[in-house]
Structures are given as C-alpha cells and as structure tokens.
Amino acid sequence: MPSLLLEIGCEELPAGACREAEAQLPELARAHIGTAPSQLFVGPRRLAFLIDDLTERTADAWVKGPPENLRDRAAAGFAKKHGVAVDELELRDGFLGVTVPGREFREVLPEQIDRIVRGFSFTKSMRWDESGIRFARPVRWVLACAVRAHVSHSTLLVSCRLSFPFSSRLITPVSGDYSPPHAAAGAGEQSAT
C-alpha cells in the first residue's frame, strides 16, 4: 500500500493560524481522503501530513436514489443518470440506489487535495487571487507524493522533488507572482505521474 505525503506551502502563518491548522488538518484528511494521518508537520510556512498504508482505490459507494414508492416515475431517470438498467437498482431502507465502484486513488487525489486546501477555516483569512481560495496567508505551492516503497521521512521530500520513480503528482503553485525558475521547475514536474 502506498504512503501519501501532502505539503501545503504558504507565506508566514501567525501562531494562531498554525494552531487552528493543526487542529483541523487531521479531520480534513479523514473526511476527504478517508484515513487519519499518521504524522502531522505544522510550521509557519508549511502544513503537511503523512498517511501510511493508503488504500489503492476509494471504497465502493452506494448512491441513494428515489423512494421506492416513486419507482414508476423516477427510477428510469435515476438509472439512466448512473448508466445502469432499472432492473439493476438496489433497494435499501425504502430507497432505490446503485453501488458505484471505487476509483483509483490517483484519479481522485487532485480533487481531494483541493477540498482539503479549501476546507480550512481560519479566524482571519484572505483571498489573494482569482482562484477564490480563502486561507490565512497566500498558498504558494501544494505538493503531494504517493510512494509505494518505504523511504525515510527526511529523504521522502527530496526524492519526490528530484525524480519521480513512484506514482507522484505535483500541483503547480496557485499564486500568479511565483518566481519564474520555480514555476518552470514545477511545470516540468507536473507532467510526471
């Protein structure tokens, strides 16, 4: 099973914002990735967590549809929306529904990371560009490394930034004024998956 390191780099956070982030980060990871982090790393310029033994796929999900008494009117539309036949709908607790198979972790990682970054709620937050992200200070980068092999924590970040022999993804900086050499390096790394 792979491990996941997620790092959010930002401008200098006040001490209060660091405490707020430290309190919120485990719950955000649990809610959006489905696993509690094994380690948290909180500093004024970086918020990070490490999850060991991450599953390869998301869990299968049951999508609740129309009530059973509306089967004649709503079942066909619900089944069509989810790409199944009406006969394949399941009945649970008085509602029709369908089981949607889980997706590969690497497919859902970018949207989960976005939800984590947008999920923070600080006492004082700001917007700094057209992305609409509200954060205590401007976010400069988001780095996510999913690795299958165990690498020591001090080497993990360096390995992910220098080469991509693992299943990794780097999300480019969200700030428009990020320095050109860093932006060029990030653009090259983004394509390596």
**150 in Cβ contact with 2 (< 8 Å):** no
Q: What pLDDT shows up at residue 174?
A: 45
Please tell me whether residues 94 and 109 are part of one structural domain.
no
- What are the pLDDT digits (tens) for 8-46? 999 999 999 999 999 999 999 999 988 899 999 999 999
Minimum mean pLDDT among 60-69, 99-108, 151-160: which range? 151-160
pLDDT at residue number 180: 52
pLDDT over 90 (residue 102): no
**Which residues does residue 96 pair with via DSSP β-bridges, in sequence order?**
91
Quick one: 71 and 95 in the same domain?
Answer: yes
Task: List, in order, residues 6 or more apart from 80 with CB less than 8 Å away.
Answer: none
Q: Are residues 117 and 182 in the same domain?
A: yes
Residue-level pLDDT at 19: 97
Q: What is the pLDDT, as a whole number, of residue 184?
A: 52
Q: How far apart are CA 41 and CA 147, in angstroms?
A: 18
Q: Examine the domain organization and report whether 93 and 31 are in the same domain.
A: no
In the chain, the amino acid numbered 77 is: G
Give the three-state DSSP class for 92.
strand
Q: Do residues 125 and 171 both lie within one domain?
A: yes
Q: How high is the mean pLDDT of the chain?
A: 79
**Domain enclosing residue 39, as ranges:** 3-55+104-190
- Given a cut of 70, whether residue 151 has pLDDT beyond it is no
Residues 6+ apart with CB under 8 A from 34: 55, 58, 59
Out of 73, 100, 127, pick the residue that ends a domain: 100
Average pLDDT rounded to a whole number, residues 115-142:
92
Range list of β-strands (E), 29-81 = 39-42, 46-51, 61-67
Question: Rounded distance, CA 71 to CA 43, Å?
Answer: 54
Q: How many domains in the chain?
A: 2
